[in-house]
Amino acid sequence: MNQPRLSALLWCLLGTAAVACASQAATAAQRSPQIRSEAVLVLDQATDSVIYARRETRAVPIASITKLMTALVVLDSGQSLDALVEITAADRSRTGGAASRLAVGTRLTRRELLRLALMSSENRAAQALCRAYRGGEAACLAAMNIRARQLGMEQAHFDDATGLSASNVASPNDLARLVVAANSNDLIREFSTTSSWSVRIGRQMVEFHNTDPLVKDPGWRVSVQKTGHIAAAGRCLVLQALVDGRDVVIVLMNSVGKYTRVADARRIRQWLAGRELAAAASAQAPHDS
């Protein structure tokens, strides 16, 4: 076969392969991500456009995702972050039988309590912050609900500062707004993504760990996150992360199984990468003239 005909054949084969690749990538990208969480929202933060959603308008219990709002209003209050706050018997009573490593009488700064509430989901830390809020717990909860209205969280309601109450509800649409607001606060970004932290409790240094394994995953660039879990809410996860060069908000509610919410986040990331690949393949594929 002469050189011109061979070259033409190679170009034809390459063109056919490119078209097939683009077609396969496009087909994969059109499929919905295989998400097991009951309610889902994936938002392109830069354009405020929904990439994928399921039951995004339904108000559901939000568990410890509540603590993002608790942190927002505590920081909004301007109270000293270096002031000491003591864990009281009232904090223990208000959080019921929830596990805590903060014994009654523990004294930590407001800054330390904020970090533990966000990274390790410490319930007594969040409760103590709300109780020590200027005006007390009632004023704190009122501020949380007012802030929700200001953010346009139309279906949100907060009944406690920890998320242990099933009366704390919001829709995935609401929670996306909360994540965006939390992401604008440098301290919330830092505290929620700290992988581990030690504080002195009595005579001992006690180490706490983040409840979200994605903050330690080198493949992820998470800027803010919060996990949640109570029986009424299932396992939940909200986060903002840089995915394929764009800021994406992911909300996952009522995931079944201990690891499903994290697996769902990873499936969404892979699906988004597939969409980008499909777009690139389609752009590079030969087109009829």
* Residue in this structure with the two tokens 């509610």, named with its chain if needed: 253
Q: How far is 153 from 228, CA to CA, in rounded Å?
A: 18
47 is written with which tokens? 């354009």
257 is written with which tokens? 């199984």
DSSP collapsed to 3 states, 87-144: CCHHHHHHCCCCCCCCCCCCEEEHHHHHHHHHHCCCHHHHHHHHHCCCCCHHHHHHHH
Which positions are catalytic?
64, 67, 121
Q: Contact, 63 vs 274, CB < 8 A? A: no
Closest CA to 247 of 228, 267, 223: 223
Closest CA to 111 of 137, 140, 80, 70: 80
Q: How far is 162 from 34, CA to CA, in rounded Å?
A: 31
Q: How far is 100 from 69, CA to CA, in rounded Å?
A: 20
Q: Contact, 235 vs 229, CB < 8 A? A: yes
